[in-house]
Amino acid sequence: MSPSTRLLLTVLFCAAASAAQAQTPAKETAVNCKGPFKALLEASNAEKRGVTLFFNGQSLSGIVTACHDDGRIEMRSQQFSKVVVLADRIDAAAM
């Protein structure tokens, strides 16, 4: 690898790292979830721990980022930056 290529890669890496740091969201506030899985969903948000939701034979793992009054639960995971789940569709939850 030539020195100019190495320098270009270093500059690109530093630019990407500073852009990622600038996009870091402000501190999230505590959520107020409703329903039978309230304790697990709120603990996932407060402790930044993953929770697995089971519905219709499928499972979804992630961290709860928000709960809405209309029954929507927002999550994020390594695979998806934002997932929205309807609380009334959840069959089980595990942490």
CA 93, chain centre distance (Å): 16
Do residues 55 and 63 touch, judged by C-beta distance below 8 A?
no
Instruction: Convert the pLDDT of each residue in 28-77 to its tens digit.
Output: 567 788 888 889 999 999 999 999 999 888 999 999 999 998 889 999 99
* Single pTM value for the model: 0.66
Q: How far apart are CA 95 and CA 87, in angstroms?
A: 16
CA 62, chain centre distance (Å): 6
Confidence of residue 16 (pLDDT cuts 50, 70, 90): low
